[in-house]
């Protein structure tokens, strides 16, 4: 069988397109970062420092992000982002399309945008699923309390599980703690303290840090887990199983910055902690354990301007952007090419069938 030139060109184009798309596929351990400056979500590859537009991007439709400030990634790849203006946005990982999450009840229908409270600041998603088909619940920290967005049943509704107090009113970040039966508590920042709220009783437990905390993340479960947090002054250290990243931090003796957002790799991935500078141009520092110390690797994403105020580490590979569309286009192009060949061939029907049988 002899391959004709148009088919070879098409095949090369398909393979090159798939290779290019693979470069921007979100892999386990990659970062999705909230760029508040330009109302967008960035995909940062820690190994290379390369950065891509996750949403909005070409063909993703209207941009509904408005001063975004929190992000969470579901196991099915769906990304959730909070707007400071009070909207919860979901992002399709394949297309980058954004939509406002709406409250829905099977009996009464659509109730409009789901209520995530006044001035939301942070969002997290439970790691717990009773069965593979379950959708994990969302938790939002806002000025009026910690809200649970129920996604497990036929209704999607919002309810305050921990009412606001002086700590929650001034908090700017939150991280959930799960055990074998679901979310049990949530850590929040509280000035110079980290406060853990029991989600069933609302009872707070305070851990004094000694200087202002600007971000925290929890990795693990209630039975075995660690709190990772950033505070305003000091140096890198570990104590009592709790990792503390203290800033300003010196990188090579030249760069001294104050970091704010922090994200830790999920338990399914090797430990890595990321902190981002709220400034432009952006700077992210990756920290990985090495013996009794941590190796600092500054990442300078290839973007001129951004203000990264929140990050999430992807727990799994997200669907490859544009793969379905590209493959469909290639198949349609190949089918059209073959159809045109049939119309132009002067062979009799039995000869055409013979050629088809040998292809």
- Residue 145 pLDDT greater than 90, yes or no: yes
Give the separation between CA 230 and CA 236, rounded to whole angstroms: 10
Task: Give the pLDDT confidence score for residue 132 in this predicted structure.
Answer: 57
Q: For the segment 263-301, what is each residue's pLDDT rounded down to a tens digit?
A: 999 888 888 889 887 666 788 888 888 877 778 788 877
Element housing 323 (H / E) = helix 323-344
Structure tokens at 89: 């946005």
What pTM was estimated for this model as a whole? Answer: 0.78
Domains along the chain with CATH numbers: 1-25+325-359 (no CATH), 27-319 (2.120.10.30)
Q: In the predicted model, is pLDDT for residue 316 greater than 70?
A: yes
Structure tokens at 202: 């609302």
Q: Quick one: average pLDDT of 324-335?
A: 35
245 touches 232 (CB < 8 A): no
Buried b or exposed e, range 125-137, using 16+ CB within 10 angstroms? bbbbeeeeeebbb
Other CB atoms within a 10 A radius of the CB of residue 329 amount to: 14
Q: What is the pLDDT of residue 330?
A: 33
Whether pLDDT at 141 is above 50: yes
Cβ atoms of 122 and 174 within 8 Å: the answer is yes
pLDDT digits (tens, 9 = 90+) for 203-261: 999 988 777 788 889 988 888 888 888 776 544 444 433 444 444 444 443 344 556 78
């Amino acid at each position: 069988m002899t391959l004709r030139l148009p088919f070879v060109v098409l095949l090369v184009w398909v393979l090159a397109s798939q290779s290019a798309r693979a470069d921007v596929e979100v892999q386990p351990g990659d970062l999705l970062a909230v760029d508040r400056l330009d109302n967008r979500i960035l995909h940062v590859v820690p190994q290379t420092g390369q950065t891509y537009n996750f949403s909005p991007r070409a063909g993703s439709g209207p941009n509904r992000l408005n001063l975004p400030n929190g992000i969470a990634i579901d196991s099915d790849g769906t990304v959730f982002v909070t707007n400071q203006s009070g909207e919860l946005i979901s992002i399709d990982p394949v297309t980058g399309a954004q939509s406002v999450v709406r409250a829905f009840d099977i009996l009464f229908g659509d109730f409009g945008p789901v209520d995530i409270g006044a001035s939301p600041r942070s969002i997290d998603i439970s790691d717990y699923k009773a069965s593979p088909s379950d959708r994990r619940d969302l938790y939002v920290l806002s000025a009026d309390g910690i809200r649970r967005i129920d996604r497990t049943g036929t209704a999607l509704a919002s309810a305050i599980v921990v009412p606001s107090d002086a700590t929650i009113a001034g908090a700017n970040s939150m991280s959930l703690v799960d055990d074998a039966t679901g979310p049990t508590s949530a850590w929040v920042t509280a000035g110079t303290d980290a406060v853990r709220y029991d989600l069933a009783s609302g009872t707070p437990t305070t851990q004094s840090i000694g200087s202002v905390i600007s971000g925290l993340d929890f990795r693990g479960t209630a039975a075995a887990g660690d709190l990772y947090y950033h505070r305003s002054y000091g140096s890198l250290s570990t104590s009592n199983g709790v990792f503390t990243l203290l800033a300003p931090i010196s990188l090579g003796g030249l760069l001294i910055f104050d970091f704010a957002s922090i994200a830790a790799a999920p338990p399914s991935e090797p430990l890595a902690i990321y902190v981002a500078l709220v400034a432009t141009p952006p700077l992210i520092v990756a920290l990985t354990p090495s013996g009794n110390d941590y190796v600092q690797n500054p990442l300078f994403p290839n973007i001129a301007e951004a203000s990264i105020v929140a990050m999430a580490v992807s727990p799994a590979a997200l669907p490859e952007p544009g793969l379905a569309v590209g493959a469909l286009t290639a198949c349609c192009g190949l089918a059209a090419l073959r159809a045109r060949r049939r119309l132009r061939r002067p062979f009799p029907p039995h000869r055409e069938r013979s050629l088809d049988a040998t292809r």
